[in-house]
Chains A and B, each alone.
Chain A
């Protein structure tokens, strides 16, 4: 099987607390998958290890047959893994457009240039506008990012990751803190982005409509262990998952 990302026997503990406990799974090219699990299950910590922010205690992470363990976040990003964050991670004082421009310039390897104004780098500018259009944030282009509504900040965070044209995009709770209407819109948007940009997409999410609505495969984490993985129907029927997690939410 030609996996894009392969995680093998990954381990991580904080003190005595095992947050990643012998986790193995792989992600296929072009798929859209969800990771679910109760608060504190170790979902974000898993992303942190894949993206190089946190060193695992043991195990392997391979992306297109390249070993990721020990590499810096910026190396991993440049290998093609983008990430959006549970709490929107943006450049608050820059305009929405400049947030995206920074990412586009980085992708084009133009951030070492120190003479021509960044606003006159045309290709980066076009790419940034295209992302703005995909997100539906054109009208906000010139506003400083901190002025945006919470939901739009989350979208901008996703936009920054998209601007890097990642092969694999990891989203940490894209709809966290959104109103029901915003969630609805974001769900549709993410599905659209997945198709439009031909992404391989893995998202962490507590919103079950989104998880069961758009994921092709679902991974369930509990106390650092991967307790189930499979198609939405099989997860919905899984006893362990129901007792660990779904029971309380969907009943």
Chain B
């Protein structure tokens, strides 16, 4: 890693942090701050998901399961036991996600390709059905309202900055991971699992590891979301939620670390702008996404970097993950 590139990267990182940090100060309405908060949380969720898909080649269609575990841990404990339980609830949510992802992971990693995808979907849908039917505990399709975090966290602006810090820190951790020896092995697994065995590494063990890690960060995103919106609903575990992070990754580009984050920005802004203008927004958004995917097969970030390197006249510039 040469210095100028690190420097450039640090600059981008700081710029991103600055933009999000300025939102509450420059924006006129609370609504816009909430929008920025949503982008941050979905961005983290999508980036953590892409560690599975873009990096390791495991297309999970069931990450909503862990997002939901995080959200319901916070929602249930804060409303039923007490606001002071916000942080313990976060810990319990992460621990539960770790345990469930370990158990589910042991089963799903036995499958590859579309079977893996379908099985992850099946587990998440199962959890969705349980959440829906177990009214006494979860409130069924009403969800849970009035999730107010304790103390200063109850202040929306303060909470926004906490979200900003947690999301940037988490993404930084995931980025380190993507460029670590472990991350290299994950990419190798995507490209040639047989060869990974023949350099002496277990494919399944490493797949299980990243499945648990990715699920932990999904749970963290869910927990943050519960405190931000003050309400949760079983749709957070529905397959459309898993589909959303897949879509964000495709939009931004699955072969770039920050692709899914950019995808989250694009999708959430699209939904916001188009959703406000027409009641046919799902169709319009669907069409816009189709156009983007067809025009930019590498995703927005991938395509931009490709153009940039063509513009600078070096075709060999590549970046891992």
Interface residues of A (CB under 8 A from B): 51, 72-74, 77-78, 82-83, 89-95, 98, 101-103, 105-107, 110-121, 124, 142-144, 160-161, 163-164
Q: Within 8 Å of chain A (Cβ to Cβ): is B188?
A: yes
Q: Within 8 Å of chain A (Cβ to Cβ): is B32?
A: no
Q: How many residues of B contact A (CB 8 A)?
A: 26
Whether A74 contacts B202 in the complex (CB less than 8 A), given A90-B192, A117-B1, A119-B1, comes out as: yes
Find the A residue at minimum CB distance from B176.
A115
Q: Within 8 Å of chain A (Cβ to Cβ): is B197?
A: yes
- Bound-state Cα–Cα, A110 to B199, Å: 12
16 A-B pairs whose Cβ atoms sit less than 8 Å apart in the complex: A73-B198, A74-B201, A74-B202, A83-B198, A94-B187, A94-B191, A102-B188, A107-B200, A110-B181, A111-B206, A112-B181, A114-B183, A116-B181, A117-B1, A117-B179, A143-B316
- Bound-state Cα–Cα, A250 to B107, Å: 54
Q: Within 8 Å of chain A (Cβ to Cβ): is B320?
A: yes
Chain B min CB distance to A49 (Å): 14
Residues on B with beta carbons closer than 8 Å to the beta carbon of A115: 176-177, 180
Are the C-beta atoms of B187 and A103 separated by less than 8 Å? Answer: no
Q: Within 8 Å of chain A (Cβ to Cβ): is B310?
A: no
Are the C-beta atoms of B198 and A89 separated by less than 8 Å? Answer: yes
Residues on B with beta carbons closer than 8 Å to the beta carbon of A107: 199-200
Find the A residue at minimum CB distance from B203.
A74
Total of A-B residue pairs, C-beta within 8 Å: 101
Find the B residue at minimum CB distance from A77.
B200
- Bound-state Cα–Cα, A105 to B179, Å: 13
Chain B min CB distance to A55 (Å): 15
Are the C-beta atoms of A116 and B198 separated by less than 8 Å? Answer: no
Interface pairs A-B: 6 shortest CB-CB = A77-B200, A114-B182, A73-B197, A118-B181, A106-B199, A114-B180
Are the C-beta atoms of A105 and B198 separated by less than 8 Å? Answer: no
Across the interface, B197 reaches (CB within 8 A) one of A72, A113, A124, namely A72
Q: Within 8 Å of chain A (Cβ to Cβ): is B184?
A: yes
Are the C-beta atoms of A94 and B177 separated by less than 8 Å? Answer: no
- Bound-state Cα–Cα, A51 to B187, Å: 23
Q: Which of B164-204 contact A (CB under 8 A)?
A: 176-177, 179-185, 187-188, 191-192, 194-195, 197-202
Are the C-beta atoms of B197 and A117 separated by less than 8 Å? Answer: no
Residues on B with beta carbons closer than 8 Å to the beta carbon of A164: 199-200
Are the C-beta atoms of B197 and A74 separated by less than 8 Å? Answer: yes
Residues on A with beta carbons closer than 8 Å to the beta carbon of B179: 117-119
Across the interface, B191 reaches (CB within 8 A) one of A91, A121, A161, namely A91
Whether A114 contacts B188 in the complex (CB less than 8 A), given A77-B200, A107-B200, comes out as: no
Chain B min CB distance to A64 (Å): 16
B185, B195, B318 — most chain A CB neighbours (10 Å): B195
Find the B residue at minimum CB distance from A99.
B188
Whether A116 contacts B180 in the complex (CB less than 8 A), given A89-B192, A143-B316, A160-B195, comes out as: yes
Are the C-beta atoms of B181 and A78 separated by less than 8 Å? Answer: no
Chain B min CB distance to A125 (Å): 11
Residues on B with beta carbons closer than 8 Å to the beta carbon of A121: 181
Chain B min CB distance to A110 (Å): 5
Chain A min CB distance to B311 (Å): 20
Are the C-beta atoms of A144 and B195 separated by less than 8 Å? Answer: no
Residues on A with beta carbons closer than 8 Å to the beta carbon of B177: 114-115
B177, B191, B199, B201 — most chain A CB neighbours (10 Å): B199
Find the B residue at minimum CB distance from A84.
B198
Are the C-beta atoms of B320 and A94 separated by less than 8 Å? Answer: yes
Chain B min CB distance to A99 (Å): 8
Find the A residue at minimum CB distance from B177.
A114
Residues on A with beta carbons closer than 8 Å to the beta carbon of B206: 111
Chain B min CB distance to A169 (Å): 12
Residues on B with beta carbons closer than 8 Å to the beta carbon of A117: 1, 176, 179-180
Residues on A with beta carbons closer than 8 Å to the beta carbon of B318: 95, 144
Find the A residue at minimum CB distance from B182.
A114
Residues on B with beta carbons closer than 8 Å to the beta carbon of A103: 199
